[in-house]
Amino acid sequence: MNNLKKPLLISCGILKNEIQKLIETGQLDVDVNYLSAKLHYDYKLLERALKGTFEKVHNHPDRNVIVVYGDVCLGFDYEIKKLVETYGIVKVDALNCVDCLLGGKGQRLKADRDHKYFFLTP
């Protein structure tokens, strides 16, 4: 990449298989830091893990960072958006991991406006 560092994705491990497939097929050229999907069980643990990771990359302002988490992954008041903005990092436009898989930008709500469906992934 012209001697530039690859962008860094900070992603929930839930999306690891999909991201790895994109990397393997050459559709995505990034470095990835996956955080454990188990962190979703405790917002405080997830927030601490995200902050710790953001602090590490914050010390490297020449590195492009993209956060692959949904808007509601840290709470329903969009806490993750506020946290990401604090560090000046870019986040994908998605509600949650299912929305990421469907293309983001609220596609999950278009597919299931009344929250009747249960989405399964491998």
Asked if pLDDT for residue 1 goes beyond 50, the answer is no
| Range with the poorest average pLDDT among 3-17, 41-55, 74-88, 96-110 | 96-110
For residue range 10-60, what is the model confidence (pLDDT) as tens digits? Answer: 999 999 999 999 999 999 999 999 999 999 889 999 999 999 999 998 877
Residue 36: count other Cβ atoms within 10 Å of its Cβ.
13
CB-CB contact of 82 with 75 (8 Å): no
Asked if pLDDT for residue 3 goes beyond 70, the answer is no
pTM of the model: 0.84
Q: What is the dihedral of CA 96, 122, 67, 46, to 10 degrees?
A: 70
**Dihedral sign, Cα of residue 69, residue 44, residue 121, residue 14:** positive
CB-CB contact of 9 with 30 (8 Å): yes
